[in-house]
A and B are shown apart, each in its own frame.
Chain A
Amino acid sequence: MSQAVPPLLSVRPSRALVDEKFSVLVENLPPGCPVTIRSLYQSEDKDFWEAYGHYVSNHKGTVSVSEDISLGGTYTGKEAMGLLWSMRPIPGSRKGLRLRKKDTCAPMLVTISVYSGHGDVRDQAPLASALVERWHVAPGVQRIEITEKGVRGTLFLPPGPGPFPAMLDLWGGGGGLQEYRAALLACRGFASLALEYLKSNDTKPKGLDMKYFETAFEIIRSHPQVIPDRVGIIGLCFGTLMTLSLAAECPTIKPRCIVCISNIHSKSNENTIQEFPQEIPEKYNKIHMMEDVVVWRDMGLAVLEVGHPKVKVGNIDCPMLLINGTDDQNWPTVEVASDIIKTMREAGKESLVTRLDYPDAGHLIEPPFSPHFRAANFMLHGTKKKVMMLWGGKTKPHADAQEDSWKKILSFLQLHLYGAPSLKANL
């Protein structure tokens, strides 16, 4: 009795950093054979995420995800990394999930499998499988928990003796401590401190104290493996409000450069977004619900319209990179970026600004190949209320924005934090 020879599935590299690409190749299929290639990942919260593409083998019996076109599935077209960025929770999952890695020192384990045909493959046995590791840390990267002088965060150091340029990494209004971007920056040569400045389980929001950030910045700057005059700041969403505030209004913090993703620059008395509804006159209060999701974008526009106090960005003296998505439904970040540039122009400093507006990308522009979700659960800070927040974006353009912006962030940081000062004089 002869057994059938299975197709040969290989993913190279099988272990990589999360911002690196892989090639998925299936060989030894019959020619012209329809197959489905599927990825499956079980998150730390035990939810299952999947993506899949429909392919037809060529006359040599080969399917190459990097070279061939997916004819259907969670992504279409020639998409080498579609099996990752188009992942979504499997049918029957809880609603409003968001995929974020908590344990940065362990890899994501993704199973890539090939199945016969283009139908529903979930109950079929695969023809072949491969296990792929996606890491946030490279060999030699050190993770150090910081709890000194009241500052809470995690510092990641690149491998090697150093000293290194460094980054302060500020996430958004969801609070808590998200380490994964700082870990990746350390893989790329930047000592990075992910700072916890909004505890997610605080029931009463405290006013944000500039002193806390100054202390954090000083901890980085004075670290023996950090070059003190080459420290930058990267922020997303509420983190950009803090980044711009620190760069503009804090005399002791002089970042070498700043990166602002999904820009917010309107201040409130308590320095939290949640305070805005109380401060905006009733007729401008434009938070609305759209099919059970909360949309804040129009409130943000109202805040801009009424001339709410803003960060004095005209005081910023360092290069800044502004990254936004035009389909951001959480905040009018593109309009904010225009306002920032207008202010910088009036101050004669427009040459410091680089602007990237990504068409049809949403609010949560994360490191590349991570899945996109148009709406997700969000715990309103300072309350225990969980809402479904609309972040916006269409999956494919959002994935493209994540991939492109990450490359541009790294080259921006390399230029300003690694480059020689004489290089800037020649620009």
Chain B
Amino acid sequence: AALYSRTVSKPNNKNPILMMLSVHPSRALMDEAFVILVQNVPPGFQVTLHALHRCEDGHRWEACAHYVADSSGNINAADDCSVGGSYFGVEPMGLLWSLKPVPGSKPGLRWVRCACDPTHSNIHVNGPQKLHCCFGPPKGPGPFPGLLDLWGGGGQLMEYRSALLASHGIASLALDYLTRTDQSLTVPVSVQTAYRVLQQHPQVLGSRIAMLGLSLGTVFTLKMAASLSPQLRCAVCISGSHIQPVSGEGGVMCLCYRNFEKISFSEQDEVIWRGLLLPIPSDPSLKVDVGRLQCPLLLVVGEDDQNWCSHESATDMKQMMERAGNDQLLTLLSYPGTGHLIEPPYTPHTPSMMVLWGGKTPEHSAAQEDSWRKIVTFLRRNLYGGSDPHAVNLSHL
């Protein structure tokens, strides 16, 4: 971060105004908050805080906010209101989540981060098969509960969510399941293999494994959760759907291709895919039977998701579970004004990238912060908690 001030009067060289800018803590994990303090400011002085970041791909992102110092000469971004700039109001982490590509950047950029920990690597399994994944257990003797992390259809293995979960005590394996996906199977071989690898890993508690899926990843997460073998400890599905052929030929991608004419476009020519799986079918052979679930399920959806019909799917899943009588396993977090890519907190919001994801930045950023905290709590309670996960009361979430 850097501090720029707009002087009200010409600075006197004999009495220069010397402000002190500090960030506490100066080093933190990606999901930890910080406090930005400016001290020694003349009372009532106007200042601008500016953040600049250069991504690994070389693109620059920036955000700024306008503040006014109080009578004691201090500005605290965690307590004070931003009166203009990239965000308004009291937003301690606004300078991060409101980052946008600098003017003149290529359109359609997405915030990219690579792995945080060099111990992550591919895993070789018996025979010629190789799992493209990223796995790094937490530090310490273990053993630890495990988690299989499935990203979305955007391609490219994203490792930072697994790394963050490792910092919360969960041995997380982020699987690249798309490279060699056999789309005619209901669950790719690589997902089943990855589950077995986790289960047998000496530093993982084989009886305490969860799955977390985003977008396309929720398709396989729900399938595994509803099939009772192996028995997941719990599942988290973000911005996804239960709509897919339950058996036989064709995966969810085939369903999408059949409904191709339902794609629409925004005014900026961004692709809107949310109509592809609508309306929600009533044919049970086209939906995962979530009424069969025996493990807790956390659904996180954005009500402005323009990419998948996750909000409608979540409502349908809730009704299915109410009819089956297992809805006490369900926790549904539905966020207004929030788009498709609900990521760990404080990452900048990307409303579109040729494809419209949806969501408005302040609401989406608040949803990321809130949902991440709840996801971590849900996972820790179910993975570390007592022997009967059904007894865990999650009504406070």
Contact = CB atoms under 8 A, between A and B. Distances in A.
Interface string B96-129: 0000000000000000000000000000000000
B27 A8 contact: no
Contact of B15 (A8, A187, A422): A422
Contacts of B139: 129-131
A204 B290 CA distance: 84
Given A8-B384, A160-B21, A126 B15 contact: no
Interface stretch (B61-69, B140-148, B324-332): B140-148
A132 to B, nearest CB: 10
A384 interface: no
Given A419-B40, A422-B15, A128 B22 contact: no
Contacts of A421: 15
Interface in A118-167: 125-131, 133, 135, 138-139, 160, 165
A203 interface: no
A27 B140 contact: no
A187 B25 CA distance: 12
Contacts of B144: 6
Nearest to A28: B384
Nearest to A190: B20
Interface in A1-58: 2-3, 5-6, 8-10, 12-17, 20, 27-28
Contacts of B32: 12-13
B167 interface: yes
Nearest to A129: B140
A230 B14 CA distance: 12
B28 A15 contact: yes
B142 to A, nearest CB: 7
A131 to B, nearest CB: 5
B22 A139 contact: no
Nearest to B385: A28
Contacts of A422: 15
A138 B141 CA distance: 30
B141 A139 contact: no
A130 B138 CA distance: 9
Given A16-B27, A126-B141, A10 B169 contact: yes
Interface in B156-194: 167-169
Interface of chain B, helix or strand or loop or mixed?
A: loop
Contacts of B384: 5, 8, 27-28
Contacts of B143: 3, 6
B185 to A, nearest CB: 32
A302 B333 CA distance: 76
B103 to A, nearest CB: 23
Given A189-B20, A414-B39, A421-B15, A6 B141 contact: yes
Nearest to A114: B140
A80 interface: no
Interface in A390-427: 414, 418-422
B169 to A, nearest CB: 5
Contacts of B15: 420-422
A254 B272 CA distance: 69
A385 to B, nearest CB: 42
Contact of B25 (A5, A20, A227): A20
Contact of B141 (A20, A128, A165, A230): A128
A103 to B, nearest CB: 18
Nearest to B34: A13
Contacts of B169: 8-10
Contacts of B21: 160
Contact of B27 (A128, A130, A135, A189): A135
A187 B385 CA distance: 41
A93 to B, nearest CB: 25
Contact of A418 (B20, B140, B207): B20
B29 to A, nearest CB: 7
A131 B141 CA distance: 12
Nearest to B167: A14
B376 to A, nearest CB: 11
* Interface-centre pick from A3, A126, A187 (highest chain B CB count, 10 A): A3
B142 A6 contact: yes
A130 to B, nearest CB: 7
B26 interface: yes
Nearest to A161: B2
Contacts of A8: 169, 380, 384
A36 to B, nearest CB: 15
B207 A189 contact: no
A13 B208 contact: no
Contacts of B208: 5
Interface in A200-254: 227, 230
B16 interface: yes
B391 interface: no
B90 interface: no
A13 B25 contact: yes
Given A129-B140, A160-B2, A165-B18, A17 B205 contact: no
B17 interface: yes
B25 A16 contact: yes
B243 to A, nearest CB: 36
Interface in B11-53: 15-18, 20-22, 24-29, 32, 39-40
A3 B205 contact: yes
Nearest to B16: A227
B353 to A, nearest CB: 30
A5 B18 contact: no
A13 B28 contact: yes
Contacts of B39: 414, 418
Contact of B26 (A27, A127, A139): A139
A3 B207 contact: yes
B383 to A, nearest CB: 8
A204 B357 CA distance: 74
Contacts of A133: 27
Interface in A98-119: 113
Interface of A: 2-3, 5-6, 8-10, 12-17, 20, 27-28, 113, 125-131, 133, 135, 138-139, 160, 165, 187-189, 227, 230, 414, 418-422
15 contacts: A8-B384, A14-B167, A16-B27, A113-B140, A126-B141, A130-B140, A135-B27, A138-B26, A414-B39, A418-B18, A418-B20, A420-B15, A420-B17, A420-B40, A421-B15
